[in-house]
Structure 1
């Protein structure tokens, strides 16, 4: 296993039980209410359309809240993640909710070797996934390999402009980190996570990469996908820039001032040709 996979996997294995127990992921709400959906999936309901009966795979599914939400919309879902601790929580949640979802442990770059190639009506990727991958072209290849002809990619992600901003600089929107993909990772050493918890991580070192929006789209083009929709949003489902954002009534955070200055997330859709 490469260094970045080893480091990132250890970090996410420690995050998983903390996230499952947090109010931020709201797992108990899924158990109590069979119609409950994650904020991320609910945000994109008008864009998702009718997915009932479709076979979908959620890449980098983490603890499975978005995967479960897509299942509740009628899709036949598979979730894939490289963290066994995350998948343990995902399977437990699906079991508690009576949902039939298959979860597979794998590095995303090997997804087309552990799942049926050309076997899916749609591939779904959610917020905060692509930044953990060093090469966007390899991801696009996997997406294309998993989709059947005419199958759809659906992705909601943090905007690469947001990832380039230093979240700790409250004196302004300071571009400090790479926008374009680089071979060298951005290395972090942090004992916290993005949910409220009193427990400090011991696997603190992680590697991340940014990918420009043009790089993502070009990679999809190279592997036979046609872009069908792209919408940039001025909101994101967590307080990405602490102290400078306000929460709306739908679980989305926006800049408190001058929202027009920075795109925070985007929704992209594409169709596999052939």
Structure 2
């Protein structure tokens, strides 16, 4: 069944995914290395990578003092890191246990933050105010069926002149067979509106298992992602592709500084991530 495409109602798929992410919270609270944040200078690997790129395209060239909305924030390690980088942060997620964990984690480290429980596709209606930066990163939009609606939320959350940042797994990577001995395409690169169904008790980080194993994901090509952002009225100011990931997509990946990558002789054959920065004029 894993990777098969199915027709499913969005609400049912979202609820199944939320149950799965609820189950991940206590596992990730252990495996995310949160003890490293006892060092007040510590930032998550993801934010340490992303912020210097983002700041090059901010009018102020700095995140300090800016209002930042972090979409799909999970347990808040990246949100706290964005606050330590100088932002006034609001974290948004659909998992109540994740937000409870994020809130306690932020308070433990003296970080002031707002936390909003909502589906990201309803973020504009649920979140107060507007923002200088809307941020999302790594493992986010594959969970969404309707990217047009997603892009509209981003546009409406940004104030004029505001900046949107996303770094995520590359759709070409997601088309690969993670278990094949060579780089082999197995899954759809182009979406057709149907969901890929997965049944897996593990998570991408640490040990343990989840009780709700069924999840649904949607493939989105790079052209689709760029197109919905442009269609929502945003202006693309930066696009890049990367060779490393913050998690091990395939058992064949090797650990490198900052994450994981394909074996060296294959590293230039396939992108692992993309980064898009866009602005609301």
TM-score of the superposed pair, with normalisation by structure 2: 0.92
TM-superposed deviation, 1:45: 3.2
Match of 1:136 in 2: 147
Which of 170, 173, 179 is the equivalent residue of 1:162? Answer: 173
Aligned mates of 2:91, 2:221 — CA distance in 1: 26
- 1:116 Cα offset (Å): 3.0
> RCO greater where, 1 or 2, for CA within 8 Å and sep 6 or more?
2
2:36 maps to 1:41? no
CA displacement at 1:86 relative to structure 2: 0.8
For structure 1, the residue ranges without an aligned partner over 5 or more in a row are none
CA contact (8 A) 2:238 2:278 kept: yes
Q: In 1, are the aligned partners of 2:82 and 2:89 still within 8 Å (CA)?
A: yes
Where does residue 229 of structure 2 map in the other structure? 220
**Aligned-pair distance for 1:252?**
1.8
- What does residue 190 of structure 1 align with? 200
* Corresponding residue for residue 69 of structure 2: 57
- Aligned partners of 2:54 and 2:277 also within 8 Å: no
TM-score by length of 1: 0.94
Deviation digits for residues 44-90 of structure 1 (CA, Å, limit 9, x no counterpart): 23212211000010000000111111100110000000001111111
Deviations 1:116-150 (Å, cap 9, x if unpaired)? 36x10010001000100011111111100100111
Write out per-residue CA displacement over residues 12-68 of structure 1, whole angstroms, 9 at most, x where no aligned residue. 00001100111xx111111x1111000011112321221100001000000011111
Distance between the aligned counterparts of 1:164 and 1:27, measured in 2?
31
For the 8 Å contact 2:43–2:81, the answer to whether it is kept is yes
2:279 maps to what in 1?
271
Would you say the 8 A contact 2:244–2:273 is kept in 1? yes
Write the distance in 1 (CA, Å) between the matches of 2:70 and 2:51.
16
What is residue 18 of structure 2 aligned with on the other side? Answer: 9
Paired positions, count: 265
Structure 1 Cα separation of the partners of residues 51 and 161 of structure 2:
21
**Stretches of structure 2 lacking an aligned partner (at least 5 in a row):** 1-9, 56-61
Q: Tell me how far apart the structure 2 counterparts of residues 266 and 184 of structure 1 sit (CA, whole Å).
A: 23
How many angstroms apart in 1 are the aligned matches of 2:121 and 2:64?
27
Rounded to whole Å, the distance in 2 between the matches of 1:210 and 1:95 is 36
Q: Cα offset for 1:200?
A: 2.2
- How big is each residue's C-alpha offset from its partner over 1:152-181, in whole Å with a ceiling of 9 and x where there is no partner? 001111101111112122x21121111122
Between the aligned partners of 1:263 and 1:59, the Cα distance in structure 2 is: 24
Matched, 1:262 2:270: yes
Q: Aligned partners of 1:142 and 1:268: how far apart in 2?
A: 16
For 2:83 and 2:33, the matched residues in 1 are separated by 17
